[in-house]
A = this chain, B = another copy of it.
Amino acid sequence: MDHVLEPHLRELITKTFDEWIPFNRILGLHLTEVSAARAVATLAMEPDLVGNPVKGILHGGVISATLDAVGGIAAFAAVLAKADLDDEGRVSALNRLGTIDIRVDYLRPAGGRSFVATAYPMRAGNTVAVSRMELADDAGEIVAVGTGTYIVG
């Protein structure tokens, strides 16, 4: 499997992820890496994203939304790397991408100024793909992990 996506495809996916999806903009997600081997996105702590003002930590929903989003991109990239699609077919595939279900484990309070979410595709089938995700704080500590199942066909 060729793990590298062509530059214009990476750019298209990144633009869709960062700018086209309204709620990703609310979260302030930025996709910094995408290949068939993994996807990485960053997120900065903002007052609006807090779940507990006393502790100053991210809302659990921000974490699950972030892991879901980056897991879907990893699944999609892994599927693209296997399929032989032209650009129109790829955009159409991106539009069909949907989360079937997700599990998130909150391991530690998510404090800090910024976070990195990484997703690894575990299975890339014709209809279903699975990713495992993790969220690290700015000290490199893993604060949450998750698993997502995505419809890709």
B24, B48, B105: the one contacting A130 at CB < 8 Å is B105
Given the known interface contacts A59-B23, A65-B62, the answer about A99 and B103 at a Cβ–Cβ threshold of 8 Å is no
The tally of residues in A whose CB lies under 8 Å from a CB in B reads 50
Decide if B103 touches A101 in the complex (CB within 8 Å).
Answer: yes
Further pairs besides A23-B62, A61-B62: 11, Cβ < 8 Å: A21-B50, A61-B68, A64-B68, A98-B106, A100-B100, A100-B149, A101-B149, A102-B103, A105-B123, A145-B147, A149-B149
Binding site for B on A (CB under 8 A): 20-27, 47-54, 59-62, 64-66, 68-69, 95, 98-109, 122-123, 127-128, 130, 132, 142, 145, 147, 149, 151, 153
- Of all chain B residues, the one with the shortest Cβ separation from A145 is B122
**Minimum Cβ distance to chain B for residue A107 (Å):** 4
Decide if B65 touches A69 in the complex (CB within 8 Å).
Answer: no
